Amino acid sequence: MRKKRDSSNLKAWLYLAPALLFLGVFMIYPLVDVFIYSFEEGYNSASQTYFGTGVYNYSYVLHDPYFLQAVKNTFLLVMITVPLSTVIALLISVGLHSITPFRNFLQTVYFLPYVTNTLAVGLVFMILFKKTEYSDGFVNVLIRWFGGESVDFISGPYWAKMFVLCFYTIWVVMPFKILILTSALASVSQEYYNAARVDGTSKFRIFRRITLPMISPMIFYLVITGFIGAFKAYSDAVALFGTDLNAAEMNTIVGYVYDMLYGDSGGYPSYASAAAIILFAIVLTITCINLLVSRKKAHV
């Protein structure tokens, strides 16, 4: 009996081996490596040397104004876009779910951003928001038409740039959320709504007491993945503000890591590693909190 179990265990490991191998080489080894680099001062990837070990890298990164700017930007981006995009996606999904004509057409329209290239979308946003010598950009034309002062969204004040970045991010992440939420809504049985109607439940109460709890697992899923995704934001900022994000005050943590590795001021894998580990710690903490909350609040 025991022998048989051993051999079947062996088989199990054999089948798992390819997956474990790839995970080990491409996930676990780099993770551990990054963790080690982050404690090695002045590591040089070409000569594979370093001066000493300690927490100096962390101290440097945490005192670097560019990093602090990146942290501030990332947190603002996360705190604004995740709740907003989820709420708006929920509203659109409910709207899509309750209309019958053109539903398929509208679903396609709302899904388009998902299959569109990030940089192409960035270009469109440039046309909408960028102010040049020749034109003010479409949004500024609108603002002036309503009697407002034109604003340079791409290289103007900080709040304007942050607004564009958030707008862009929300627009890009929305399709996936709408897709998930419309299917979640469709999976709620019509019988529940009928039962609520017989009891004279108001539309709002039906939504709050029945629909929302029933799709809450999906909402929490979207919030958790949304948080993780937003913390890893980088390409969106590049698409809008170009590669010199530090100068534009629009860098994100991942952007900072990239700059430290390959940017004009790059070549500091130790600092990059320290920043990456800090980001990892932040995401881990937030995700843990999210999971704890969702376990308490979400039904099922």
Applying CB under 8 A, the residues found at the interface with another protein are 189, 191-192, 194-202, 205, 209-210, 213-214, 216, 299-300
| Cα separation values, 289 from 213, 227, 284, 286, Å | 20, 11, 9, 5
Closest approach, Cβ 88 to another protein, in A, equals: 24
Nearest distance from C-beta of residue 205 to another protein, angstroms: 7
- Residue whose CB is less far from another protein, 287 or 294: 294
Residue closer to another protein by CB (options 149, 199) is 199
CB closer to another protein, 8 vs 98: 98
Q: Residue 272's CB: how many other CB atoms inside 10 A?
A: 25
Residue 112 to residue 92: CA distance in whole angstroms: 14
CA 203 to chain centre: 32
Q: Are 34 and 276 in contact (CB under 8 A)?
A: yes
Residue among 195, 253, 201 nearest 77 (CA): 253
- The residue among 223 and 257 lying less far from another protein, judged by its C-beta, is 223
The least CB distance from residue 293 to another protein, in Å, is 16
Q: Please give the C-alpha separations between residue 147 and each of 128, 132, 134, in angstroms, as whole numbers.
A: 18, 20, 20
CA-to-CA separations, 205 to 84, 196, 216, in angstroms, rounded: 22, 9, 15
Cβ contact 223:290 at 8 Å: yes
Shortest Cβ 215–another protein spacing (Å): 11
Q: How far is the CB of 99 from another protein (least distance, A)?
A: 19
Smallest distance, Å, CB 97 to another protein? 18
Question: d(Cα 103, Cα 87) in Å, to the nearest integer?
Answer: 20
Q: Which is nearer to another protein, 52 or 200 (CB)?
A: 200
Which burial class, exposed, middle or buried, applies to 158 when counting CB atoms under 10 A from its CB (0-12, 13-18, 19+)? middle
